[in-house]
Amino acid sequence: MSSSSSAAGSTGTSAGDPVDPVDPVDPERRFISSGSPWEELAGYSRAVVDGDWIFVSGTVGQDFATMQLPESAQAQAEQALDTIEAALRQVPASLLDVVRVRVYAPERGDVPAISEVIKRRLGAARATNTTVCCPLAVEGAKVEIEVTARRRPQATDAS
């Protein structure tokens, strides 16, 4: 394992404490953590910022502070997007900067409820969207959402 990949996976802080280290090889690349135990287990970052691009890992609808998974796919989709939105805010970016969404759901019957959340929370971004029905790695997870975003130039004050 290279030093940059181990740095991305080790937080050095307690769970829930986000870390924003810079890649020692490429200072334009930053790593963002959500404090998820899955990030620590598998050695990955919730998000990687590379220039104007932000790549957010697949995110289940688990509250990482309490480790609880809501009962419904809809509530899990909301929680997953809350975690994604919090990671984007650290960049700073927002859900409006999302250009691509990937949704993974084990049950085809949950897709309409998940899609309603995606439309309400991400619809204004008009991002591309792929939904795949497949098993998920986290027991009890009903949805996993992954996004790619691109920071837009900040508006300047003309006055």
Give the pLDDT confidence score for residue 20 in this predicted structure: 58
For CA atoms 119, 141, 63, 53, the dihedral sign is negative
Statement: the pTM of the whole predicted model exceeds 0.85? no
The DSSP letter of residue 125 is G
Give whole-number Cα distances, 61 to 31, 69, 152, in Å: 21, 6, 27
Whole-number pLDDT of residue 155: 54
Is 116:145 a contact under the CB 8 Å cutoff? no
Tokens 């509530």 belong to which residue?
Answer: 75
- Token pair for residue 151? 């920071």
Mean pLDDT of the chain: 86
Percent of the chain whose pLDDT exceeds 70: 84
Residue 13: pLDDT over 90:
no
